[in-house]
Amino acid sequence: MDTETGMTGTLLAGRYEMGELLGEGGSARVYRATDRQLGREVAIKAVHEHLSPQDRQRFLREIRTLARLSHPGVVPVYDLGEHEDRVFFTMPLLPGGAISGLGPLEDDPRQLGRFLNAAIFVAHALQHVHDAGLVHRDLTPGNILLDASGVPRVMDFGLVALSEYSRHLTRSGVTLGTPQYMAPEQARGVGVGPASDLYALGAVLYRVACGSPPFVGDSDQSILYQHVYDLPPDPRELNPAIPDGLARVLLGLLSKKPSGRPVSGEATARQFELARHGAWSMSERSQYRGGRGRSGEQTDGPISPARLQEVWATRLPGEVTWPSAVLGQDGLLAVGTRTGRLCLVANSGGIQTELKAGDEVTAPATFHGQSVLYGAWDGLLRRSTQAGQELWTHKTRAEITGAPTVWGQRVLTTSRDGHLHAVNLETGVLEWAYRAAGPIAATPLVWGGAAIVADEEGWVHALDASTGAQLWRVQFQTVHATPALAQLGRGEAALLVGCWPGEVHALHLGVRQGHARPPESEPLLWTYDLEDELWAAPAVSGETVILAGWGGKVRAVTLRGGDDLWERKLEGRITASPVVSGGVVYLATEAGELCALSLHSGAVLWQTRESVGIQATPLVSGGRLYVALMDGTLKAYASLDERSP
């Protein structure tokens, strides 16, 4: 047998046609294979030739362990056999790759949702393993693979139970497992149990979320020492896109003492569920355009948009005009007016607080915890409590037109004279400033550690979000609307830049040297001419991009090719940016039109006509649609069966 290719090309047991080598470990190789009998592709794990008796027994122990487990989150055994004195077993082929492909996390609701769903699923699978009286002992990103649907499966149970031989190794000072993901008690060779697997899960998910494991070093001994004695860095320091609730769960799993970790896999799953709820309520609604990627997508819009009816209307103290937007967090809405007020309104319709400014507040606000950040035409960026206590102000040189963007302990804000300022979140003190090529109307966004902003000279600038150092810039045409980011896959995104003359450019981005950068060749995915002025930001959901022109043209195109999907023409001019939720596109016009269109076909699902125009971007939140009319009327719409507050 060819030792280079192993079993490739062999017909195994008269049934399995062996294909390419997928991976190799210390005791076995994994191959792609075709099961001729059932006509399906499988993965086959076969022991190496000349394997020691101890390792052969460990391999057989893995097979027996898998055969005892029955859970959708654990890779099952299909078949067991022997070929030329080499034991093998077959299992499902998992084409989705390692769980590390779900990260590092960006400020993208869909990506965060996939990550948290996977974390919850694996936690439940570990509960099943532990209920069977077993401990995995070697949980790593390579041991949690994704199937074609993105469902994670735990595999490689070779260390799940120690033989007398491996116990002897442990007593002799040889620690079994993978150092980067090993619990302190396992590193010390004492007291390994279910809590050790939960620690490993925390280390694995830390690696996925941050792009780096909690501890790195020049040797295994250095890494093991850190696991035993050093506190892990706060994951938000490595990746500020990680929500606070998720960071707390990860750090809890990485507690040095088993008693400090969640009590079980089920308890871990529950903590991730709470983190998921908190992340959705805090991120999508509290930041302009659904988060720092500005995709325009939110997840909890009306379930039955065809049955929308007005629930309440509240008059605000002043007009609401472009580029304003309705924001929301924890039952509270924020809308700025031209009379120098940021109004905080309860989702039942009553004005709770009016935060004052020295001039028009037309830039969208940003909630952060129990405070709110907002800018005005007087050039002041303010941070205040929701009760109205001013925490600090920061003076820029001109009108503030973009929404404040929180990145770690910094707030990014743009001013009309072309400056991007980064100020300290706690003090408001300037940390760095960058001068663009022209005035800025668009809100900055963050992806891949880069702050990205477009100016009215058509330049798109990317800066190191921590230092303000320029990474790259590229020029298109005049930009008034905020760009949007769409995830393409692991470490790749499309930056959608809508230019005022009507062209939309999809710039291909990847992460290189720790930051978002266009590829050196073919940086443009596509260019699309809407043949209409663009004041509204693009919106993207999945593989569909929504473009809305000032003249009323609305078009849906494909994310990867810019190919036409559907078109619709509204009567009024569109300056309010479209919002997407649950496969529905919500649009508003300066003629007072409000409509909900099918994301997939453009069919009208619901429409109504207000007597006053709309320029502010709507909000979908908690099953409702919130719209601010130009005369300062804030309205809430809900489906007939969802009208209770």
Q: Is 244 a catalytic residue?
A: no
DSSP 538: P
Integer Cα distance of 619 and 628 in angstroms? 9
The pair of three-digit structure tokens given for residue 525, joined into one six-digit string = 């995915």
Secondary structure in 3-state letters for 585-632: EEEECCCCEEEEEECCCCCEEEEEECCCCCCCECEEECCEEEEECCCC
Contact 356, 366 (CB under 8 A): no
CA 445 to chain centre: 14
Whose tokens are 């304003």? That residue is 324
Report the alpha-carbon distance of residue 356 to residue 349 in Å, rounded: 20
Q: Which of 35, 107, 108, 138 is catalytic?
A: 138
Q: What DSSP assignment string belongs to 353-402?
A: EEEE-SS---S--EEETTEEEEE-TTSEEEEEETTS-EEEEEE-SS-B-S
Q: What is the CA radius of gyration of the chain?
A: 27
How buried is 150 (Cβ within 10 angstroms: 0-12 exposed, 13-18 middle, 19+ buried)? middle
Separation CA 89–CA 76 (nearest Å): 10
Measure the CA–CA gap between 527 and 589, rounded to whole angstroms. Answer: 25
- 468 CB neighbour count, 10 Å cutoff: 17
Q: What is the DSSP letter of 98?
A: B
Judge residue 172's burial from the number of C-beta atoms within 10 Å of its C-beta, 0-12 exposed, 13-18 middle, 19 or more buried. exposed
Distance CA 79, CA 57 (A): 18
Spatial distance between the Cα atoms of 573 and 570, rounded to a whole number of angstroms: 8
Q: Residue 173 is encoded by which pair of tokens? A: 């000072």
Residues 6 or more apart from 32 whose CB is under 8 A from it?
19, 20, 22, 41, 43, 93
Position 617, amino acid:
T
Q: Contact 206/235 with Cβ under 8 angstroms? A: yes
Contact between 604 and 597 under an 8 Å Cβ cutoff? The reply is yes
The residues annotated with a catalytic role in the active site are 138
